[in-house]
Amino acid sequence: MSLRWRSELLLELRMRGCQAQLLGAGWTAHSQASASAGGSGGAALSAALAALRLADVDTLPSIARLRVADEYVLHRLIEGEGSRAMVLAQARAHFDQALGPGERHVMLLPLGRKRHRWLASAINTSDLAAWTDALSQSGVYLADMQPMLFDEWQRLRDQIRDQDAVLVLLRDEGATLIRLIDGLPVDLLWERFDPGDAATLDRRLRAFARTPQGRSLRPVWAQSDHADTAPPPTESTQVIYLLPESKTLCRYVWDRDAVDLAGDRAADAGAATP
């Protein structure tokens, strides 16, 4: 966490609402006041700021940091060893190919200690303009914006003790699934569904986690340089980390062989640990 020289707002914009926190100057992560409001986009931001004023906050700070949920963002994992400008151009080309020509704000954020592994995220400039306008009408300047996905990865990665696992981040309208190999994200998928539908979550997670995990199938950069014996192309167990709405990270061990033999039994057989 970086030092704050003055008070600022931390805003988490989700698809169905916004959470606003007032953070004081210094190193502390504790909020001095918080409020939430329903809605989406700029309307949710305005409503959350109005609710914060009602929480005994007479004057709002002039700057805000915004964290945006996955429903508003298109993500792509990129491996690029060139300059940041070259990797950013590669990301823009991908989004243009996937979405067609358009005005987009593209962010490029490092995923590991080696800067050639990146998360590229694109947001429609029309959405960004609406959010900026909603904040400015409340006298607040948008000083920083990041995908919620990156913010959570920064917070959670030291809590994940397994080098190979699947991370599940629940959202209002679905979940983001991330495959970790050697401790780094190598595959990412957005799945849209009702996150309260446990059967659908189980089915989508099984399909994603069943992808073979053998070292020979890993990206070249994820293969070990050590001369150890390669593991078999598939493993019988899969570690799942789930981040629900409570933001308490839970760990499950899925015995895939036992699940397959049992048919439709729940895939999260095993103890969940915070």
Could you read off the pLDDT of 237-253 as tens digits, one per residue? 789 999 998 889 999 99
What does the block give as tokens for 26? 């210094």
Give the C-alpha distances (Å, rounded to integers) separating 255 from 209, 237, 242, 247. 11, 4, 16, 25
Mean pLDDT of 69-78: 94
What average pLDDT does range 21-29 have in this prediction? 73
Best mean pLDDT range from 39-48, 50-59, 202-211:
39-48
Mean pLDDT, residues 100-109: 90
Say what the pTM is: 0.81
The H-or-E segment that residue 77 falls in is: strand 74-79
Mean local confidence (pLDDT), 166-181: 94
Please say if the pLDDT value at position 62 is more than 80. Answer: yes
Q: Is the pLDDT of residue 50 over 80?
A: yes
Q: Give the tens place of pLDDT for each residue, 217-232.
A: 444 444 334 334 344 4
d(CA 173, CA 239): 24
Contact 61, 9 (CB under 8 A): yes
Among residues 75, 66, 71, 67, the alpha carbon closest in space to that of 15 is found at 71
| Contact partners, residue 100, CB within 8 Å, separation at least 6 | none
From the list 186, 187, 188, the residue with the least C-alpha distance to 222 is 186
Q: Which of 67, 234, 44, 226 has the alpha carbon at shortest distance from 135?
A: 44
Comparing 15 with 112, the larger pLDDT belongs to 15
100 confidence band (pLDDT: 50, 70, 90): confident
Q: Which of 109-113, 132-136, 141-145, 254-258 has the lowest mean pLDDT?
A: 254-258
Q: Tell me what pLDDT residue 49 has.
A: 94
* Mean of the per-residue pLDDT values of the chain: 82
Q: Confidence class of residue 27 from pLDDT cuts 50, 70 and 90?
A: low
Q: How many residues would you count in the chain?
A: 274
Q: Token pair for residue 173?
A: 């309208």
For residue 144, pLDDT over 80 is answered with yes
- The CA distance from 110 to 238, in Å, is 26
- Averaged pLDDT for residues 257-270: 39
Residue found under tokens 């992560």: 29
pLDDT of 202 over the 60 cut? yes
Note the pLDDT of residue 5: 61
Q: Which residues contact 93 (CB under 8 A, 6 or more apart)?
A: none
